[in-house]
Structure 1
Amino acid sequence: MATFTPCPISSSENRFGHADVKSSATVLDSALSLSAAVDLLSMRGISISERVLRERARKLGAYRQIGRTIFFTPEDLQKIFEPTASRNSPDTLAEAKAAPAGWRDMPFSKALAAYRDSGKDARFLDKLLLHFQEMKLGDINNVSMSHASQSIYPGRAPATLRRQLYVPVSAIINFVKDNRLRAPKGGGQRTVFMTPDEVEMLIRAAGKQPSAFLAPLITFLVGQGARMGETLSLRGNDVNLSARYAILRDTKNKQERTITLIPRVVAALSLLPTIGNDGPVFRRFDGKEFKERKSRGGQIRNPFSYAVEQAGLSDEVTPHICRHTWATWHYAVNKDPLLLKKEGGWLSNEYQRYVKSAPCGLAESIVYHGWGFSTL
């Protein structure tokens, strides 16, 4: 891998040619925008796109940010392009797992980089890095976390603070040293689900996208309650529309499950050319297979999120919310917890959370919009 050596700025003269009272150039004197950094690297014989440079910089925490604009110092570019061996020897993981006595003095940025390098969940980390930066881990306590919640997520619900602030910060600190923080009270397990009107808006928005598979996929998720991994691994020759069933073979608990297809799902799937074929039922707009990942829907996340935005729905609506929606609707119509457990493929008692979540009038609205769960 090429090594980038930044051109130093004179310690006695700044870029405007005036004497500098400081011994080195300030950050702004040497700052480079994303496009300027790409141009400079190109002049040095290093070809890299803005997207790749941005992703690599964020992964390493080697960038500065004002609002939504990111920029670089020569030191940031040096860190991005230094050989992998020098980054990992002694790598950040080894430093993070050093003697417990030193964990309090470790900068948050270094702990975050170590956490990222270990392959942990990287969601929500960019905002944390921007806020805490070089703060020592030992200085992060419940007072500073309260300030962080007001600065990063003002006015957000306790559940959001728990999920997007307290859990990742605690995970980073616990990765280095077990010192668990106290998350705010309240906001425990929440069952978020869509109303029938919201689902109709989401499906209509999905139908306007280039992919002919997205609207049927959302219909399947809401109508059958399958997990995303189970859905994207469903094969065309495991679907029988005339007999109204599908076989989910790659399930979370490793047990095959046969589900009964409701009429609306049958109608949606009948439009797809993949039914009956040996290959995945649901595909990308270009006909290629999706690659399902554990983090918020994998490759389906972007088109799904765009449909959510176009439908005017909350950003809390993720692909997995479709499963919550299905379970809530299923019980609201059938009032049969054992059937819900069987169709949902639960081995635990988690299905019980949906038994009390359906508000009055929901069942009538579900039936009115044509979701025939009562025919299962």
Structure 2
Amino acid sequence: MRGISISERVLRERARKLGAYRQIGRTIFFTPEDLQKIFEPTASRNSPDTLAEAKAAPAGWRDMPFSKALAAYRDSGKDARFLDKLLLHFQEMKLGDINNVSMSHASQSIYPGRAPATLRRQLYVPVSAIINFVKDNRLRAPKGGGQRTVFMTPDEVEMLIRAAGKQPSAFLAPLITFLVGQGARMGETLSLRGNDVNLSARYAILRDTKNKQERTITLIPRVVAALSLLPTIGNDGPVFRRFDGKEFKERKSRGGQIRNPFSYAVEQAGLSDEVTPHICRHTWATWHYAVNKDPLLLKKEGGWLSNEYQRYVKSAPCGLAESIVYHGWGFSTL
């Protein structure tokens, strides 16, 4: 290697282009084999075997800025949850610079002190998905922490409903009350028709369900009271609408068109950003079993065909059942 003069910038660019370097954090170093590859004659690098390997590998993914990869991932219609915080942290970092060391730094910066399950769900999974979207190079998520069921307390739900009631839409607070009180999925809720609701008989028919099986649910008194305020009950068309009276269009990403007003209500209520519309279903299931202790009724009312409902059949926190009843969520009267 004697007699070769090269600037640091050119060295780094050539090393990254060839993948001939090692990195710990932001420190780059080279092995003798890396240097041999960097300084070998151009003709050698253009041999048929080397060209075939280069053609087979996705071109340029290591040099792609994270922001560009994230934009492409988002535009493709993929799950957009948790991406904003990732963009603020990684910004223009090249994908090739993201490794387990940089991911450890990201976890400490974005989610300090959070549980492994949270790091996996909100950091490792989306970053891996973005990288795998442009090149299959899977990262290793931290081990530990099983499936975690996030749910709200009755006090938190009251704060959320009050915050929703201060927004322009007259539908948002009843919608949240329905989600928490009945445990319906978002798609089932937004497709509920006004003429499929009978308040006097206290039932509603969910026709567009996840498992394609029509389901009749018993409305609890608090939900009946909330729905009685809506002008759409008894009429054809969706029960729940946007603030301008138009229909919601349900999407897969974090609650569809309800995402923004719901997230704003969560923020105004001072709740964790883990609270999404689907957490209302977790809350309902946890509360339902805490009050009734009836797993078969829980399964029936929740519309489960699998055994997923069993994750909620566990010992409830001390005093939860009493607090649920105190706040007027009368599941025991189903």
Relative to the length of structure 2, the TM-score reads 0.78
Pair 302,241 (structure 1): closer, same or farther in 2 beyond 3 Å: same
How many Å apart are 1:136 and its aligned residue?
A: 4.2
Deviations 1:93-124 (A, max 9, x none): 99999624864455544543443343322333
Unpaired runs of 5+ residues, structure 1, are: 1-42
| Contact 2:25–2:102 (8 Å) recurs in 1 | no
> CA separation in 2, counterparts of 1:257 and 1:53?
65
Pair 205,110 (structure 1): closer, same or farther in 2 beyond 3 Å: closer
> CA separation in 2, counterparts of 1:259 and 1:181?
43
Matched, 1:206 2:164: yes
How many Å apart are 1:135 and its aligned residue?
A: 4.1
Higher RCO (C-alpha under 8 Å, 6+ residues apart): 2
Matched, 1:239 2:213: no
Pair 272,141 (structure 1): closer, same or farther in 2 beyond 3 Å: same
Higher mean alpha-carbon deviation, 321-330 vs 135-144, is at 135-144
How many Å apart are 1:56 and its aligned residue?
A: 32
How many Å apart are 1:207 and its aligned residue?
A: 2.1
| Contact 1:192–1:321 (8 Å) recurs in 2 | yes
Match of 1:292 among 240, 250, 263: 250
| Contact 1:93–1:117 (8 Å) recurs in 2 | no
SS in 1 for 2:311: helix
Higher mean alpha-carbon deviation, 318-327 vs 290-299, is at 290-299
How many Å apart are 1:227 and its aligned residue?
A: 0.8
Higher mean alpha-carbon deviation, 146-155 vs 71-80, is at 71-80
> CA separation in 2, counterparts of 1:69 and 1:221?
50
Pair 250,72 (structure 1): closer, same or farther in 2 beyond 3 Å: farther
> CA separation in 1, counterparts of 2:163 and 2:9?
28
> CA separation in 2, counterparts of 1:220 and 1:82?
68
| Contact 2:80–2:253 (8 Å) recurs in 1 | no
Pair 259,179 (structure 1): closer, same or farther in 2 beyond 3 Å: same
Matched, 1:345 2:303: yes
SS in 2 for 1:259: strand
How many Å apart are 1:333 and its aligned residue?
A: 0.9
Counterpart of 1:195 in structure 2 is 153
Match of 2:122 among 145, 155, 164: 164
Deviations 1:13-34 (A, max 9, x none): xxxxxxxxxxxxxxxxxxxxxx
Counterpart of 2:20 in structure 1 is 62
| Contact 1:61–1:129 (8 Å) recurs in 2 | no
How many Å apart are 1:89 and its aligned residue?
A: 28
CA root-mean-square deviation: 11.2
Pair 255,44 (structure 1): closer, same or farther in 2 beyond 3 Å: farther
Higher mean alpha-carbon deviation, 235-244 vs 48-57, is at 48-57
Pair 114,79 (structure 1): closer, same or farther in 2 beyond 3 Å: farther
Deviations 1:40-64 (A, max 9, x none): xxx9999999999999999999999
Pair 45,182 (structure 1): closer, same or farther in 2 beyond 3 Å: closer
SS in 1 for 2:56: coil
How many Å apart are 1:73 and its aligned residue?
A: 37
How many Å apart are 1:214 and its aligned residue?
A: 1.6
| Contact 2:62–2:95 (8 Å) recurs in 1 | yes
Pair 48,145 (structure 1): closer, same or farther in 2 beyond 3 Å: closer
How many Å apart are 1:233 and its aligned residue?
A: 0.8
Higher mean alpha-carbon deviation, 143-152 vs 94-103, is at 94-103
| Contact 1:220–1:265 (8 Å) recurs in 2 | yes
Pair 242,309 (structure 1): closer, same or farther in 2 beyond 3 Å: same
Counterpart of 2:226 in structure 1 is 268
How many Å apart are 1:223 and its aligned residue?
A: 0.7
Matched, 1:123 2:81: yes
Deviations 1:289-309 (A, max 9, x none): 122211111221222222222
Q: Tell me the matched-pair count.
A: 334
Relative to the length of structure 1, the TM-score reads 0.69
Unpaired runs of 5+ residues, structure 2, are: none
How many Å apart are 1:128 and its aligned residue?
A: 3.2
Counterpart of 1:96 in structure 2 is 54
Pair 286,303 (structure 1): closer, same or farther in 2 beyond 3 Å: same
